[in-house]
Amino acid sequence: MKETIPQEKKIKEEEILIIEDDQDIAQLLTHELHRFHYSVRIAPDGQKGLAKARQQPPELIILDLMLPELDGWQVCRLIKTDPKTKAIPILILTALGEEADRIRGLESGADDYLVKPFSLKELMARVRALLRRSRMPMEDRGTAYLKLGRLTIDIECHEVRLDGRLLSLTPTEFTLLKYLAQHPGKVFTRDQLITALWGEDRFVEEHNLDVHIYSLRQELELDPTHPRYLLTLRGVGYKLKIQNVEE
């Protein structure tokens, strides 16, 4: 009798959606991502990109800002407010490098921001860091549920509630809050938080972290200008003050 040799199970490739109207850049990105065994789809404008993200949510989106039909800021906001797509990490890749543009991009819900011209090595480092962080909640089985007074963090479902109210957080904001909540009352420097969020191979400015802290406070605090939960210690860093959460 002929022996049947079992076939190797094919591992599903992680899919990345590139929303970019510059065909040369889109092809360059595709070639580089294929080298690292990622599956790639391309959308040449904002409307098509949004439709593709909703029809078949990818593991990550690389998004230009200056797009025809629908600009990148609008695409980012719409993706992050849609329950079906809000957990997808977004890397903005744009020629707009002013501080105001970076802040606007991150406040729109983007998880990272890279300015053209860019290094392919840096791009891939950021892609790997974002994908690793987006997988983290599902792989973290040590504590699936955190309850700190009025604050509840469901790690597996990727949900945060305060007094029963569901907070709308990006993947980066969720990971940041989860990390602080796992170390209640402990003060972390900016560099420690950047390493915890983006890893050792990150290329992240400290200001990017500050923008995510700001956005997280908009959801967490009753008055973000006078935070009671997520506190800044000037010259040191940040901490989550559990005593106030429990009041």
What are 18-41's pLDDT values in tens digits? 999 999 999 999 999 999 999 999
pLDDT, tens digit, 9 for 90 and up, residues 57-91: 999 999 999 999 899 999 999 998 888 888 899 99
Report for 5-19, 111-125, 140-154: range of highest mean pLDDT: 111-125
The highest-level CATH class for domain 140-245 is mainly alpha
Looking at residue 142, the DSSP 8-state letter turns out to be S
The pLDDT of residue 191:
85
The pLDDT of residue 197:
80
Q: What single-letter amino acid sits at 58? A: P
How far is residue 104's CA from residue 110's CA, in Å, rounded to a whole number? 9
Domain 15-137 has CATH 3.40.50.720: no
pLDDT, tens digit, 9 for 90 and up, residues 40-54: 999 999 999 999 999
Band the pLDDT of 141: cuts 50, 70, 90.
very low
The pLDDT of residue 242:
66
Q: What is the CA radius of gyration of the chain?
A: 19
Q: What single-letter amino acid sits at 136? A: M
Task: Delimit the CATH 1.10.10.10 region(s) of the chain.
Answer: 140-245
Mean pLDDT within 4-17: 59
The pLDDT of residue 126:
87
How far is residue 235's CA from residue 141's CA, in Å, rounded to a whole number? 34
The pLDDT of residue 108:
82
The pLDDT of residue 142:
46
Task: Delimit the CATH 3.40.50.2300 region(s) of the chain.
Answer: 15-137
When the pLDDT of each residue in the chain is averaged and rounded to a whole number, the result is 83
pLDDT, tens digit, 9 for 90 and up, residues 105-121: 887 888 888 899 889 99
